[in-house]
Amino acid sequence: MSETFQIPIEAAEAYEQRFVPAIFAEWAPRAVAAAGVGQGTRLLDVACGTGIVARSAVDLIGDRGRVVGVDLNESMLVVARRIAPDIEWRRGDAEELPFEDESFDVAICQMAMMFFPDRRAAFDEMHRVLAVGGRLVVVVPAALDRQPAYRVFVDAAVEQAGPAAASLLGAYWSCGDLDELAAEAAATGLTIVDLATIDGTARFASAADFVATEIAASPLGERVDDAAAAEIAEATGRALDHYSSARGFEIPLVCHVLVAGR
């Protein structure tokens, strides 16, 4: 995979302000619950972004545990440190985690596994840092053919931005085969505890806000000019008008949740 997903600080701020409440805040408590987090847990938030999983877990864990977020993107960590300075934030690669063996009871990787160039290496590393009896939770979007609203947006973006958008947006759905993901985890020696496909909801103020968020808070913003963004918003809003209501713009987002143990 050629995508690096390095983003400037402005995009990291937009990610926290827009993506987190729209999408990730729904899944973080689910991931924390699936991991069985409680008082004294040592938790690693892998590819933490701005840290919504770590922040969702810290009060449950209390002073006797440990919460660490690790991310390769320094801009994400700058935002994470500003929001939650008491949490430990580390820069590091998921495929070469900067921690000793068996350092954590729980590892959670939410909405990031699809971006790793070598998923097997990432599973190996998360397995390595888990203590015996530890638990891993991975959350990823299901395949694009299960995402009717996002399919419209992706098609509109690719039409306007061409191969650059296709490469970037295709990566989002690259872990869509749950059986394949489970096989990659099991190949490292992890024991699969549970596999689930869950219907979620992405919530935005409007279709235009949805498109603006997807562009501003990701590397797509560097590949789409204002005119193209307006065309994408117009095409997406027209096709997805039925998702608008008095509550705003709510579209389905189907995700896979893998739970594995060491």
- Which pTM does this prediction carry? 0.94
Q: CA–CA separation, 237 vs 185, rounded Å?
A: 38
Which pLDDT belongs to residue 167? 84
What contacts 32, CB < 8 A, 6 or more positions away?
Answer: 53, 56, 57, 60, 108
Length of the chain: 262
Amino acid present at 145: D
pLDDT tens profile 224-250: 888 999 999 999 999 999 999 999 999
CB atoms within 10 A of CB 241: 10
Q: Please report the pLDDT score of residue 115 as a whole number.
A: 93
The pLDDT value given to residue 217 = 75
Give pLDDT, residue 218. 76
Q: Can you name the CATH fold of 9-261?
A: Rossmann fold (3.40.50)
Strands (E), the chain: 42-46, 66-71, 88-91, 104-110, 130-141, 191-204, 244-245, 248-261
How much is the average pLDDT of 180-194? 98
pLDDT band for position 1 (cuts 50, 70, 90): very low
131, 214, 229: which is closest to 172 by C-alpha?
214
pLDDT tens column, 74-85: 999 999 999 999
Residue scoring higher pLDDT (228 or 70): 70
Residue 259 has pLDDT above 90, yes or no: yes
